[in-house]
Amino acid sequence: MKDKQSVLFLEKVFIRPFLGQTRGVELFNFSLVQQLVQRDIHVCLLIHHSWKEMIGTVFHETEGKEPEIVYVSSNPVNILFSLNRFSCRRFNVLLAGNVANSFILLLSMLWMMRIAPRCVVIAHRRPSRGFLYAQKLWRDTTVVAVNSIIVNDFRKAGFRNVAVYYGIINADKFYPRESPLVNEHVNFCVLGYLDSPWKGVDTVVSAFTALPEQVKKRCMLHLASFSHPPSFTESNIKTYSWLSPDTVPEFLRNMDVMIVPSRDEKVMRETFSQAMVQGMLTGLPVVVNNVPVLTEKINNGGGLVFSNVSELTEIIILLTECPELRKRLGRMARKVAIERYVWNTDFFVEHYLFPKDFIDTGSS
């Protein structure tokens, strides 16, 4: 009987202490691990011991198909010590769930141990020079990046097997409401980890504050979510504490418009925006800041673009007063998201993780 295909999975957040909240990339990677083991692929997951309770929650309904869990400390020396247990083991693929400087030493050590013949990287962020140097040790590397900017970084560094491929992994949870909302307000929302200044909440609040009084009375701004929600004097601005992932789809189905005001602050920036695509899948028109990674998602329709506070204010007025425009843009947004931004794990496995030309060297 042929051995299972096997994957050693690394994710930079998973080898750090759990902070009490799981966000976009971590949720994506947990779902990916679930779907890989459901396809009878053996997955070994390195994870900090503080995630133990979360692991039990994530994999409690997997019908006996669970990843192999190896708990580690966040101390790099202790992680390397933990790798000794792999000294006689081999995997078919090393799968890195993101790029990270914290992986540089690990990548080098795992290459020296010949832990796997290939490495697949899902790149959510731009790589540093140090990461690229360590990754080059793995001559058989495939990179799957969330946008073309990241792809170009790897190609310039000499990597050949590089592609843009990413999307919402649980897209079936995000769908439009069956019947129109009957609300006295037009509900605008901003979704994400809004404690970070670069998410641009201040821009949206300024735009809402500048609305004419007759428009203010007709619309509401929902800001979801914060670790410590701020307070605003405006009665048409509502803030939310952290939303659990299970509540997000229904939250979006109660909205009329999504605003994505994220700024490019060079060090901190959006590289994909799962929240934006979740809104598009829900059939919401999206209003985005003039940042390439956002505007490219609506280059065929589905939303509107602003470059400053006054432009955003004008768009809010327009969408408040034009329900038919909201519907038309929302339909187009959903169409684009379904066509371009839905993750398919079978496609990922067949084209990137274990492509047809993959030579199975066996695992132990």
- Closest by CA to 245, choosing from 31, 62, 12, is 31
Asked if the structure places residue 105 within a domain, the reply is yes
Return the closest-CA partner of residue 47 out of 25, 24, 26: 26
Please indicate, yes or no, if residue 364 is contained in any of the structural domains: no
Whether residue 53 is found in the same domain as residue 193: no
pLDDT (average), residues 61-69: 77
Q: Is 97 found in the same domain as 193?
A: no
- Asked whether residue 362 is assigned to any structural domain, the reply reads no
Instruction: Check: pTM over 0.75? Answer yes or no.
Output: yes
CATH number at residue 19: 3.40.50.2000
Same domain, 265 and 329: yes
Q: Which residues make Cβ contacts (< 8 Å) with residue 120, sequence separation at least 6?
A: 93, 94, 95, 96, 141, 142, 143, 144, 352, 353
Tokens of 316: 């809010």
348 and 333 belong to one structural domain: no
Are 179 and 328 within one domain?
A: yes
DSSP 3-state of 40: coil
pLDDT in tens, 34-63: 999 999 999 999 889 898 888 888 876 666
Say yes or no: 82 and 213 in one domain. no
147 and 250 housed in the same domain: no
Q: What is the pLDDT of residue 252?
A: 97
The count of structural domains within the chain is 2
Say whether both 126 and 198 belong to one domain.
no
Summarize pLDDT for 294-329 with one digit per residue, the tens: 999 999 899 999 999 999 999 999 999 999 999 999
Q: Across the chain, which distance is largest between two alpha carbons, in Å? A: 72
Judged against a pLDDT cut of 50, whether residue 362 lies above it is answered with no
Quick one: 197 and 325 in the same domain?
yes
293 in a domain, yes or no? yes
Q: Per-residue pLDDT averaged across 241-267, rounded?
A: 92
Residue 358, domain member (yes or no): no
Neighbours of 19 (CB within 10 A): 11
**How much is the CA Rg of the chain, to the nearest whole Å?**
22
State mean pLDDT over 155-177: 95
DSSP string, 43-94: EEEEEEGGGHHHHHHHTTTSTT---EEEEE-SSHHHHHHHGGGGTT---SEE
DSSP secondary-structure letter at 5? P
Q: pLDDT-based confidence at 188, cuts 50/70/90?
A: very high
Q: What is the distance between the alpha carbons of residues 258 and 230, in angstroms, rounded to a whole number? A: 20
For residue 327, tell me if it sits in a domain: yes
**Is residue 79 located within the same domain as residue 226?**
no
Q: Does 235 fall in a domain? A: yes
The residue range of the domain holding 254 is 172-340
129-133, 266-270, 335-339: lowest mean pLDDT where? 266-270
Mean pLDDT, all residues of the chain: 90
List, for residues 101-142, the tens digit of each pLDDT value: 888 888 898 899 899 999 999 999 999 999 999 999 998 999
- Say what the pLDDT of residue 361 is: 47
When mean pLDDT is compared over 27-36, 55-64, 265-274, the highest value belongs to: 27-36
Q: What is the mean pLDDT of residues 324-353?
A: 97
Is 32 domain-assigned? yes
Pick from 224, 209, 218: which is nearest to 260 by CA?
A: 224
Q: In this predicted model, which residue has the larger pLDDT, 78 or 278?
A: 278
Same domain, 299 and 190: yes
Q: Are residues 43 and 135 in the same domain?
A: yes
CA 81 centroid distance within chain: 31
The pLDDT assigned to 116 comes to 94
